């Protein structure tokens, strides 16, 4: 077997356009597990909204969440490795968003907070309401992000969004120049903001090294710019057909879109 670990992004990759895991993908990943490959989710999501898919896939190890800011152990019910924002840096993110008039979502240990409802948040809230998974993810509206920070919680990630692409790009250009932050587009109208140096790729490689897994022994699947660190840092990085051209141009292989069984077929060839 040429690989020891399979790393997978969720949205736009393992999840189809309706937010579901295709049955053939589940079967292929389970077959990989029985052959001794370790399957790890590497996602921009908070662990609470990763859990339903983690359980559906029948995984047992930790997951890398919030774009690599932490590793979450579902069996233990806790974060086992991670570095949150410095509180002053978190306040500066909020101040910058207010200056540019863009909305934000803030990820804490056990809750995701927002001030302004958006279509994405409404869809996320409806999905949470329909879950049977326990505990359910917590998504709450607050009056002031600054007031929340007064209690000094751990802040793991921000998602910055606005329907006006130009306004969002203006915020991105400013934030990208700030050395304290890592900023990556995760969707056409959403930008993930992490402490500098945190990424899916850096966390995946550090976590794999702790387990004695060399980067060359990892195959990774992803679809967006926040996946590039892991796609370009492992033995085989595979982009989905629905990925932006800028992502496809930087990886070694492109397969079909997330509306196909391309992942299952590619894993099948790995196992053959």
| Residue 204, token pair as written in the block | 């995946």
Q: Which residue has the tokens 């790995």?
A: 270
Bridge partner residues of 139 (DSSP): 112
The pair of structure tokens assigned to 207 is: 């976590």
Are 41 and 23 within 8 A, CB to CB? no
Q: Which DSSP string corresponds to the chain?
A: ---SEEEE-IIIIIB-TTS-B-HHHHHHHHHHHHTT-EEEEB-SS-HHHHHHHHHHTT--S-EEEGGGTEEEETTTTEEEEE----HHHHHHHHHHHHHHT-EEEEE-SS-EEESS--HHHHHHHHHHHT---SSPP-EEE-S-HHHHHTT-----EEEEE-S-HHHHHHHHHHHHT-TTEEEEEEETTEEEEEETT--HHHHHHHHHHHTT--GGGEEEEE-SGGGHHHHTTSSEEEE-TTS-HHHHTTSSEE---TTTTHHHHHHHHHH-
The residue from 9, 192, 223, 227 that is catalytic is 9
Would residue 16 show up in a list of annotated catalytic residues for this protein?
Answer: no
The tokens describing 18, both together, are: 């309706």
**Residues known to be catalytic:** 9
């Amino acid at each position: 077997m040429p690989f020891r670990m399979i790393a997978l992004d969720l949205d736009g990759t393992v999840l189809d356009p309706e937010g579901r895991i295709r049955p053939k993908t589940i079967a292929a990943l389970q077959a990989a597990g029985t052959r001794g490959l370790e399957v790890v989710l590497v996602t921009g999501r908070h662990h609470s909204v990763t859990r339903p898919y983690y359980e559906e896939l029948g995984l047992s190890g930790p997951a890398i969440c919030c774009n690599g800011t932490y590793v979450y152990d579902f069996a233990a019910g806790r974060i086992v490795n991670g570095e949150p924002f410095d509180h002053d840096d978190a306040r500066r993110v909020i101040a910058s968003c207010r200056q540019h008039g863009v909305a934000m979502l803030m990820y804490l240990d056990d809750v995701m907070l927002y001030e302004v409802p958006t279509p994405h948040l409404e869809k996320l809230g409806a999905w949470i309401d329909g879950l049977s998974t326990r505990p359910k993810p917590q998504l709450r509206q607050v009056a002031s992000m600054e007031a929340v920070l007064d209690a000094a919680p751990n802040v793991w990630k921000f998602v910055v969004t606005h329907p006006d692409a130009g306004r969002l790009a203006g915020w991105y250009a400013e934030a990208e120049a700030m050395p304290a932050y890592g900023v990556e587009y995760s969707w056409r109208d959403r930008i993930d903001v992490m402490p500098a140096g945190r990424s899916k790729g850096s966390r995946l490689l550090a976590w794999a090294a702790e387990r004695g897994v060399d980067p060359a022994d990892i195959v990774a699947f992803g679809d967006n710019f926040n996946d590039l660190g892991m796609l370009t840092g492992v033995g085989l990085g595979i982009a989905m057909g629905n990925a932006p051209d800028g992502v496809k141009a930087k990886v070694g292989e492109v397969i079909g879109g997330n509306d196909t069984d391309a992942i299952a077929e590619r894993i099948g060839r790995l196992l053959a």
